[in-house]
Amino acid sequence: LHVGILASVLLFITYCLVRDRLRVRDLSGKHIFVTSCDTGLGNSLAKWLDKRGFPVIAACATERGRQDLKSCCSPSLKTVNLNLADSSSITRAVLFVREETAGKGLFGLVNNAEGTTPVAPTDWLRIEDFHSVLEVSLIGLIEITLKLLPLLKKAEGRVVNLINAKGLVALVGGGHSLSKWGMEAFSDILRIEIQHFGVKVSIIEHGFFKTGIISSDIIERDLLRLWNRLTPEIRDAYGEKYFVE
C-alpha cells in the first residue's frame, strides 16, 4: 500500500513538472488570431486568452460585435472586421494581422466559424443554399489559413481548428456536415505538409452549444421558408405531417 501511494505521488509530481514545462512563458509578441468572435466560442476564447496575457486579434463580422468585445477586454486586444465569404475582406484582415505582429509572425490561428443554416432534406435545397454555408465554414477558413501560413511559419506557430463534433454525424441535408468533414480533411493534410516548418495543426471537436447561430428558432424559421418555396409536387410528396414532425 505504501509503495502504491509513493508511486502515485511520484507520478503526480512528474505530471505536474511535464505540464509546467509545456506552458508558454513569455507571452510578449505571441499574437493569437481568432475568427468569428462576435458571439459563442470565439467570443469566449478571445476573452479567455486576453485575461491570460496573450496579445489577441479578434475577428468579428459586425461592428457591434467588435465594440462589445473591446468593452470587456484589455487594451491589448485588437479587433478587425472579417467576412469569411468575401476574399477582399479576408485580404484586409490578413494585412491587419501582419501589421499588428510587426515582423514577429503569428503564434496562433484559431479557426472558428458556424455557418449552419439552412439544414433540410437535400431535395428541398438549391445549390446556393450549400454555397451560403460552405463559403463561410469551409472555403473562407481555408483561404484565411493559406494567406496566414507565411506568418505562422515565421513564428513556428499553431493552427487550431474548432469543429463541431455533431457536424461529423451526417444526419441532415445541407452544407453544415459537409463543411465539418472538409475541415477535418484539410487539417489532417495540412498537419503533415507543414510540420517540416515547425507549424502544428490541431483539431478540437467540441460538443453542441446553443448560440444565436444555431438556435432552434432560427432553424425552424428557415425550414418554414424552404417549405414555402417548394413546388407543389415536392410538398405533396412529403406531406404536411412530415414537415410538422
Distance CA 153, CA 106 (A): 8
Look over the chain and give the mean of its residue pLDDT values, rounded to a whole number.
88
Structural domain contains residue 107: yes
Side chain identity at 55, as an amino acid letter?
P
b (16+ CB within 10 A) / e for 64-76: ebbebbeeebeee
CB 212 within 8 A of CB 42: no
- pLDDT digit string, tens, across residues 16-26: 766 656 666 67
pLDDT of residue 29: 82
- Cell numbers standing for residue 106: 503569428
Eight-class DSSP state of 135: I
Residues 209 and 224 in one domain: no
Domain containing residue 198? 26-214
Structural domain contains residue 123: yes
Residues 175 and 232 in one domain: no
Residues 156 and 235 in one domain: no
Distance CA 212, CA 218 (A): 8
CB 22 within 8 A of CB 48: no
CB 103 within 8 A of CB 153: no
Residues 44 and 158 in one domain: yes
Q: Tell me whether strands 158-164 and 56-60 are parallel, antiparallel or unpaired.
A: unpaired
Q: What percent of the chain has pLDDT over 90?
A: 62
- Residue corresponding to grid cell 495540412: 190
Eight-class DSSP state of 68: H
- Candidate from 18-32, 167-181, 188-202 with smallest mean pLDDT: 18-32
**How many domains is the chain partitioned into structurally?**
2
CB 136 within 8 A of CB 176: no
Distances in whole angstroms, Cα of residue 183 to Cα of each of 21, 33, 82:
31, 18, 19
Residues 222 and 207 in one domain: no
Alpha-helical segments (H) within the chain: 2-22, 40-51, 63-71, 87-101, 127-134, 141-155, 175-194, 216-229, 232-238, 240-244
pLDDT of residue 219: 78
pLDDT of residue 120: 86
Domain with residue 64: its CATH number is 3.40.50.720
- Residue corresponding to grid cell 510587426: 102
Residues 239 and 140 in one domain: no
- pLDDT digit string, tens, across residues 36-66: 999 888 999 999 999 999 999 999 999 999 9
Residues 176 and 232 in one domain: no
Question: Closest by alpha carbon to 83, among 71, 92, 95?
Answer: 92
Structural domain contains residue 129: yes
